[in-house]
Amino acid sequence: MRKLVSLSVLLIAATGATGALAAEPARRSAAEVAASVKAVMDSSADPCVDFYAYACGSWLKDAKLPGDRSRWSRGFAEIAERNLVTLRAILDESAAKKEGDPDLIKLGAFYGSCMNEASIDAAGAKPLAPLMAMVKSVVDKPSLMTAVGKLSASTQGLLFAGYVGADFKNPGMSLLNLTQGGLGLPDRAYYLEAGYAPIREGYTALIAKLLELAGASADASKQDASKILAFETELAKISTEREELRDPDKTYNKLNRDGLQKLTPSLPWDKLFAAAGYPNVTEINVMTPSFFTGLEKLLQSTDASLLQAYLRWNVVRSNSDALSKPFVDATFEFYGKTLSGQREQQARWKRCVQATDGSLGDILGKRFVERMFPGESKSIALDMIQRVEASFVAGLPQLTWMDESTRTAAKQKADLVANKIGYPDKWRDYSALKLVPGDYFANAVAVGDFEFNRAMKKIGQPVDKTEWGLTPPTVNAYYNPLNNEMAFPAGIMQAPFFDRDFSAAMNYGGMGMVMGHELTHGFDDDGRKFAGDGQLREWWAPEVAERYESRAQCVRTLYSSYQVQPDLVLNGNLTSGENIADMGGIKVSQRAYTRYIKEKPEAATVKVEGLSDQQLFYVAFAQTWCSLQTPQIEQQFVKVDPHSHPRWRVNGPLSQLPEFAQAFECKPNQPMNPAGRCEVW
């Protein structure tokens, strides 16, 4: 379903209820917790050879990949599924409300209209008519830019992409970032590499099918589909490799309106901004200048009929989830089955819950927090975060590759990190959003307009640092270098990451590692380039930066050797930041746990037969990543996901940690105790 806000962040789990809505879940004894740990393990596997198999082996053997999922995990997918049950109950109650709290009425109107399949199916392709009318006006570049401007709120990825965010050099102010885009396949490689030819065939068939459903003839749809694929292939050719986009020094090219116009002289940007309703936008960062110069040349050789076909396709693709069943089913056949290996579509209610969370996240999140995040949870989380941060700072003197001035600056940055826990201090105001009971397409468009205008109004204005990039029930966490902040949504403070019935070893192995991971992102090969005030600037001594880069390259090389499937290895350049954060996160958390247990030995409340407390720490960490994935989604994520495969999110960082080898008495040169190691933080 439609997700209006996307953020590339750590795929860490959030949690929900176990089906009930009570804020006080049933307590578990230490014996029950220990049994749950043992049930996941395969004690016959050698932890010094493949720790992931040792910690997750029984789960991997017994778990089944649900038909409506392309990936499934013990750590986050199972918990997110339970979250959906809690959110559904809230939404079912809201859908019955006709008067009272206006926010709840909005919640019910959106969710209720999404669940009204009969009305959606009866409308067919008719809701697309106003958007398609805008497309018909395209005859030249001025009319093209006008159409793109008018469609910006309702249609994603037309020719290029954009978002409003903090200025890298002036992080207290907001600007518009423009970057490459316009592709319907996950990555440029899907257009350019021979091995993806079957995917391209399926994609072309989908384009033809949806255009036909939207009202075009079968023959015209097939012809247009082939031309659209060729056009998108040209866009792919001028697109920058994904791993290069990780470098903020390369993606910061603040040009303002005059600079943008000089970059692409024949493109009338004034038409686009005027049509979008924001003619006076001047604060602009062009993240990929070469793409836009290439786009200008491409448009000079593309006729209006093809541009109309391309726009029609994007209008249908971007809005297919709000249309009738034939549109939804055709889209799933390709994006779900062919591209991701998902056997069956998720139930309508699940898709509608997710769409509502993406559209009215603060309204729904506020109700979620009331039920699932009791007051003491915030203070418990803050105590853990402070201990993890103290552990990071305590480790700085041990890093011989740093000099004193850089070490002092690193400590200052760590001390300045802001922590967001559970939910926003200020909830978003939706009073300007008008919804229509029973009309899902109109409501989806209204939400798109609302979010588009909310974002565009920020340009040139001070950044609101109280805002969150995720909703409270979201299955995620993140670090934002421009605000120098970490955010942990409400659900993440539950099992298997954290539980009041867990011992400290389990809580620090799970939740502590999440916190350490996010903190280390502030010092990964991307985050380290931002100072403590969020500004992109060099605050490292040159020789220290060089030594850091040498260590980061060690990590890139190591992970590029890890195999996901036969002849399919990880991209160590793409995953570099996440791998550094994983390695630093587990190290920092382990150190924080060791200090904590010395202070409070009584916290070792759960004893697992055959495991010391230190070993339990590592097992608890690994068991949050026990995962099943389809071959198709593995292939896709190697191209597009900055995170490594779950097996290597466990074995990779632990093999580089001497304390792990000591805990399990691994012999020298065993896979989990190699002779040479990479160390950054």
First to last CA, the chain: 39
CA dist., res. 565 & res. 397, Å (int): 40
CA dist., res. 532 & res. 539, Å (int): 9
478 DSSP assignment:
E
CA dist., res. 280 & res. 265, Å (int): 18
462 DSSP assignment:
B
In sequence order, what DSSP letters do the residues of 288-339 get, joined into one string? Answer: -HHHHHHHHHHHHTS-HHHHHHHHHHHHHHHHGGGS-HHHHHHHIIIIIIIH
Give the residue from 359, 361, 310, 351 showing the smallest Cα distance to 328. 351
Among left, alpha and beta (phi > 0; psi -120 to 50; other), residue 610 is left
**Tokens representing residue 159 in the block:** 């020719």
Beta partners for residue 477, in sequence order:
10
CA dist., res. 504 & res. 604, Å (int): 6
| From 212, 582, 613, 641, active-site residue | 582
Q: Which residues, at least 6 apart from 430, have a Cβ–Cβ distance to it below 8 Å?
A: 103, 106, 360, 362, 363, 450
CA dist., res. 612 & res. 125, Å (int): 62
CA pseudo-torsion sign 517, 523, 524, 528: positive
Q: Mark whether 99 is an active-site residue.
A: no
Can you state the angle between helices 513-521 and 576-599, rounded to 10 degrees? 130
| From 518, 524, 526, 578, active-site residue | 518
Contact 87, 111 (CB under 8 A): no
**Tokens representing residue 304 in the block:** 């209006």
Beta partners for residue 530, in sequence order:
536
Contact 166, 483 (CB under 8 A): yes
Q: Mark whether 609 is an active-site residue.
A: no
* Amino acid of residue 550: S
Q: Which residues, at least 6 apart from 26, have a Cβ–Cβ distance to it below 8 Å?
A: none
Among left, alpha and beta (phi > 0; psi -120 to 50; other), residue 627 is beta
Give the residue from 268, 315, 297 showing the smallest Cα distance to 153. 315
Distances (CA, A) of 13 to 348, 474, 660: 23, 8, 24
Distances (CA, A) of 389 to 157, 523, 568: 39, 13, 36
CA R_g for the chain:
25
Count of other CB atoms within 10 angstroms of residue 280: 9
Contact 71, 630 (CB under 8 A): yes
CA dist., res. 74 & res. 61, Å (int): 13
Count of other CB atoms within 10 angstroms of residue 283: 19
Q: How crowded is the C-beta side of 352, counted as CA atoms within 13 Å? A: 25
* Amino acid of residue 91: L
Burial class (CB in 10 A: 0-12, 13-18, 19+), 546: exposed
In the block, tokens 């006729």 appear at 303
Residues carrying an active site annotation: 518, 582
